[in-house]
Amino acid sequence: MKDSKEMLRIVGIILLGLFVLVVGVPLVLAAAGIVVITAVGIIGIIIKLAVLLIKVAVTLAIIYLVLVGIRKLLK
C-alpha cells in the first residue's frame, strides 16, 4: 500500500510538471509580452482550455468571497 501511494505521488508530480511545461510556460511568456507561435492543434487547444479554466476558477473564487463577505456581514 505504501508503494502504491508513493507511485501515485510520483505520477502526480510528473503530470504537474508536464502541465507547467505545456501550459504555464507559454502563459508566462504571453504575460511578459513575448509572442510564442504554437502549433495549431492539441497544444493550442490545451493552452486555450487552461486559460478558460483559470478564468472560471478566478470567477468562482470571487463569487465565493463575495458570498462569504455578505454572510459575515449578516451575522
> Which secondary-structure segment (H or E) carries 37?
none
The residue ranking higher by pLDDT, 35 or 44, is 44
CA 66 to chain centre: 22
Q: Domain of residue 56: give its range.
A: 2-74
Q: Is-contact 56 62, C-beta < 8 A?
A: no
DSSP 39: P
Whole-number Å distance between alpha carbons of 37 and 26: 9
Residues 24, 38, 46: CA angle, nearest 5 degrees: 50
pTM of the model: 0.47
Residue-wise pLDDT for 7-41, tens only, equals 888 888 888 887 777 777 777 766 666 665 655 56
DSSP 20: I
Give how many domains the chain has, as a whole number. 1
